[in-house]
């Protein structure tokens, strides 16, 4: 039996794997373990995760494109193709002609070594990762307010002691169901508040007196949050002592929020003024300044994946600060990290402007420190590149990258305006994909390298709490499969890079600790030995005798003056707003049975039996107007393209809104429709709202 953690979301549920090889056939069973995040629970995806280890679609040999088809090749042959084309492209067009796109599911060790590989072996500044589509707005808002970005700056278990929890754009019940257990006591006290245009699985948890659902117009989250703050100000419910001693910028924030009285918010968002006042009073009563047990304000992708997502998260932070919550026991603000290692993946070098330890790549001292660990001169390290959407849309264009390495991502499904991304990938001179299945992105590749899965490797992951966890190898990988640490080391050596690329994950973690030492995300004291002893180590953990930091900001924030910076924000229109030829809003999201681009979960029969294909959810009133019945095909068209899927009729969303899950390929690909416009601060694309036309399909098929 091997104790490890689930391969999917950032809750990182604790599990035990049991291997049975009776009769020469290997079976791997999964059982949940009691752990502070999952409390002994596990969702359908976790229960079936071991199915993928022996899946018949598993890649076990490199593939190289010859005469238009991907055919098996040896590792040496695959490496030779990669090295020859990388050298040719860089000789002709410069170092930045080769780019790297990483993933938030890679272990800390792989994420760290991938950033090092890009900057030293390839010498390119062109690296970013799919976390840009996930946490970037929350990260940007947290950094500018607190000087630090950690999804939850407190343990998840702290939620249970609070009187109220606000979830802004988070569907926990579908994305990480075991986390809902932490909301049980809040629901009993009637303290759960959900902001969501849909009556999602999580919004339904507010039924029967358990809380309040603020069903807003898509893209109006910021107005709703300003309205909540206005009520708190107007009714004199702010924590003025906290604001005076622990923040800056409050007068400007107060003046901006004063303009958003509840009736104005109702006109802008559709949220009834009385419901807004009720929610604001519930939060204020729960705050410690008013004698409550505490309150937490949490954001998810629904509030963040907008062209003004950073400002929306900033509005949540301002509300939390006005109530005196961050850094106070039993209260706080946090962002719910999505991908399994979305937190660690962005801390150690996959982001275009960061070095290990969450250091800015433009900071001279940071460059000197990391260069000393890597054994190179600081000027050897390239400067900042460009964020993910800009990077992907520039591929194969004049002056853009001509080659791309993809690790742990499937942008053909997950990227906005996905058809353009597909075309840009097809225009490359070289596309290298490391994966364990032939994803939609791998199908376009020139070289596909088969790599290890979660239960076949050892390493560390960082959960949504900033807790570093030990992933343990339970089974050997199939013959012919290589770990990405070895792949990166092999390629670096063949490219003539003299820097050290260790292949032992414990050695990489030790190097990561040295490289991150003194940085915001300091892993210097996190060792395999401590993790194997079961120590709960939350970063920053700067020394071997340091206990880690489960709760941040108790005494000061990570800003130069130690105070939280409050920034006045104003609502902005949806970038792709309604018009006569596109009178319906599209919002996208997830379903319980599928995960991210679906490259893994769509291969699990048990999950597909429940939800193995896409759908278009629409209100009964809209269905009647379109003369669409349940299960009939509908076409959804935006300014960028069209998709079609069966209708699912539900009163759980507004009549002017349709919903599509984004996990599915082909004609059901929701991200064919979504808007690539990005937040100017975070680079986050506006996944969560765009204008579409919806029509019934009279033919038998799309």
The answer to whether the CB of 142 falls within 8 A of the CB of 335 is yes
In this prediction, residues 496-511 reach a mean pLDDT of: 97
For 675, the token pair is: 């808007």
Which pLDDT score is estimated for 700? 67
Tokens matching residue 84: 């020859």
The pLDDT > 70 percentage for the chain reads: 100
Rounded CA separation 564/145 (Å): 5
Contact 140, 310 (CB under 8 A): yes
Determine the Cα–Cα distance for residues 598 and 612; give it in Å rounded to an integer.
10
pLDDT band at 699 (very low <50, low <70, confident <90, very high): confident
161-181 mean pLDDT: 96
Instruction: Render pLDDT for 59-109 as a digit per residue (tens, 0 to 9).
Output: 999 999 999 999 999 999 999 999 999 999 999 999 999 999 999 999 999
Best CA proximity match to 588, nearest among 307, 272, 169, 90 = 169
3-state secondary structure of 101: strand
- Do 63-133+341-538 and 152-335 share a fold? no
Please tell me what DSSP assigns to residue 478.
P
Percent of the chain with pLDDT over 90: 97
Q: What is the mean pLDDT of residues 264-271?
A: 98
Rounded-to-integer distance, Cα 636 and Cα 588, Å: 12
Strand 192-195 and strand 164-168: the pairing is: parallel
Tokens of 670: 């929701």
Q: If 0-12 CB within 10 Å is exposed, 13-18 middle and 19+ buried, where does residue 249 land?
A: middle
- Span 677-694, pLDDT tens digits: 999 999 999 999 999 999
- pLDDT tens digits for range 239-252: 999 999 999 999 99
Two structure tokens written together for 122 = 């390839």
Farthest-apart Cα atoms in the chain, separation:
73
Rounded mean pLDDT, 39-58: 96
Domain ranges of the chain: 63-133+341-538, 152-335, 584-696
Residue 21 has a pLDDT of 86
What's the chain's average pLDDT? Answer: 96
Average the pLDDT over 317-329 and give the result: 97
Q: Which residues pair with 589 in a beta bridge?
A: 661
285-320: pLDDT as tens digits? 999 999 999 999 999 999 999 999 999 999 999 999
pLDDT tens digits for range 195-210: 999 999 999 999 999 9
pLDDT band for position 587 (cuts 50, 70, 90) = very high
3-state secondary structure of 181: helix
Residue 367, token pair as written in the block: 């460059």
- For residue 23, what pLDDT band results from cuts at 50, 70 and 90? confident
pLDDT given for residue 439 in this prediction: 97
End-to-end CA gap in the chain:
48
43 SS3 class? coil
CATH architecture, domain 152-335: 3-Layer(aba) Sandwich (3.40)
pLDDT score for 639: 97
Distance between CA 591 and CA 171 in Å, rounded?
10
pLDDT in the model for residue 25:
85
pLDDT digit string, tens, across residues 588-622: 999 999 999 999 999 999 999 999 999 999 999 99
Q: Which CATH number applies to 584-696?
A: 2.40.40.20
Architecture in CATH of 63-133+341-538? 3-Layer(aba) Sandwich (3.40)
Mean pLDDT lowest among 21-25, 80-84, 398-402: 21-25
Task: Give, to the nearest 10 degrees, the angle between helix 273-286 and helix 262-269.
Answer: 120
Q: Quote the pLDDT of residue 581.
A: 96
| Residue 651, helix vs strand vs coil | coil
DSSP string covering 377-393, please? Answer: -GGGS------HHHHHH
Count of CB atoms situated within 10 Å of the CB of 168: 29
Note the pLDDT tens digit of each residue in 423-446: 999 999 999 999 999 999 999 999
């Amino acid at each position: 039996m091997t104790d490890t953690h689930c391969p999917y979301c950032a809750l990182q549920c604790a599990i035990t794997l049991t291997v049975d090889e009776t009769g020469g056939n290997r079976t791997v069973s999964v059982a949940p373990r009691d752990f502070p995040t999952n409390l002994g629970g596990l969702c359908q995806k976790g229960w079936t995760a071991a199915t993928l280890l022996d899946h018949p679609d598993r890649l076990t040999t490199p593939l190289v494109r010859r005469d238009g088809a991907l055919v098996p090749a040896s590792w040496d042959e695959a490496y030779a193709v990669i090295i020859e084309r990388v050298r040719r492209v860089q000789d002709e067009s410069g170092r930045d002609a080769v780019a790297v796109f990483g993933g938030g599911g890679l272990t800390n060790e792989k994420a760290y070594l991938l950033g090092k590989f890009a900057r030293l072996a390839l010498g390119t500044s062109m690296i970013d990762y799919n976390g840009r589509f996930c946490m970037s707005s929350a990260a940007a808002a947290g950094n500018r307010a607190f000087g630090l970005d950690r999804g939850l700056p407190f343990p998840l278990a702290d939620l249970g002691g609070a009187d109220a929890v606000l979830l802004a754009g988070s569907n926990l019940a579908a994305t990480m169901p075991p986390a809902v257990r932490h909301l049980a006591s809040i629901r009993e006290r009637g303290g759960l508040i959900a902001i969501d245009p849909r009556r999602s699985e999580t919004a339904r948890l507010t039924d029967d007196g358990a809380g309040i659902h603020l069903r807003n117009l898509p893209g109006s989250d910021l107005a709703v949050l300003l309205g909540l703050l206005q009520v708190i100000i107007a009714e004199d419910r702010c924590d003025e002592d906290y604001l005076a001693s622990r923040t800056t910028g409050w007068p400007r924030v107060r003046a901006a929020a004063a303009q958003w009285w509840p009736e104005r918010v109702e006109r802008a968002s559709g949220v009834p003024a009385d419901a807004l006042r009720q929610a604001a009073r519930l939060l204020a009563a729960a705050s410690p300044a008013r004698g409550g047990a505490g309150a937490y304000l949490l954001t998810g992708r629904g509030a963040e994946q907008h062209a003004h997502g950073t400002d929306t998260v900033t509005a949540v932070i301002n509300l939390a600060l006005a109530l005196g919550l961050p850094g106070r026991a039993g209260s706080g603000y946090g962002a719910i990290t999505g991908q399994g290692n979305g937190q660690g993946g962005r801390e150690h070098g996959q982001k275009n402007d960061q070095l290990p330890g969450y250091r800015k790549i433009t900071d001279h001292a940071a460059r000197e420190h990391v260069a000393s660990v890597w054994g190179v001169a600081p000027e050897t390290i390239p400067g900042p590149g460009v964020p993910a959407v800009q990077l992907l849309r520039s591929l194969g264009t004049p002056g853009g990258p001509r080659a791309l390495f993809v690790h742990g991502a499937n942008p053909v499904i997950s990227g906005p305006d996905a058809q353009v991304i597909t075309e840009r990938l097809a225009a490359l001179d070289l596309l290298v994909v490391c994966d364990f299945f032939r994803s939609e992105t791998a199908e376009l590749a020139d070289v596909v390298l088969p790599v290890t899965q979660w239960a076949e490797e050892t390493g560390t992951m960082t959960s949504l709490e900033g807790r570093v966890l030990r992933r343990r190898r339970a089974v050997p990988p199939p013959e012919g499969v290589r770990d990405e640490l070895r792949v990166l080391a092999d390629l670096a050596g063949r490219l003539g890079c003299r820097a050290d690329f260790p292949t032992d994950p414990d050695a990489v973690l030790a190097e990561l600790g040295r490289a991150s030492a003194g940085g915001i995300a300091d892993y210097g004291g996190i060792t395999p030995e401590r993790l194997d002893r079961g120590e709960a180590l939350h970063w920053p953990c700067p020394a071997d005798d340091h206990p880690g930091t489960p709760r941040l900001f108790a005494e000061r924030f990570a800003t130069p003056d130690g105070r939280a910076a409050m920034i006045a924000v104003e609502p902005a229109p949806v970038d792709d707003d309604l018009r006569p030829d596109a009178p319906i809003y599209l919002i996208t999201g997830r379903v319980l049975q599928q995960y991210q681009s679906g490259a893994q979960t769509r291969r699990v029969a048990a999950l597909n039996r429940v939800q193995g294909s896409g759908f278009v959810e629409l209100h009964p009133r809209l269905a009647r107007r379109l003369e669409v019945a349940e299960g009939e095909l509908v076409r959804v068209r935006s300014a960028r393209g069209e998709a079609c899927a069966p209708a699912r009729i539900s009163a759980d969303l507004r009549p002017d809104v349709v919903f599509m899950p984004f996990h599915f390929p082909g004609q059901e690909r929701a991200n064919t429709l979504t808007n690539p416009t990005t937040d100017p601060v975070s680079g986050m694309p506006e996944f969560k709202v765009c204008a579409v036309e919806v029509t019934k399909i009279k033919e038998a098929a799309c």
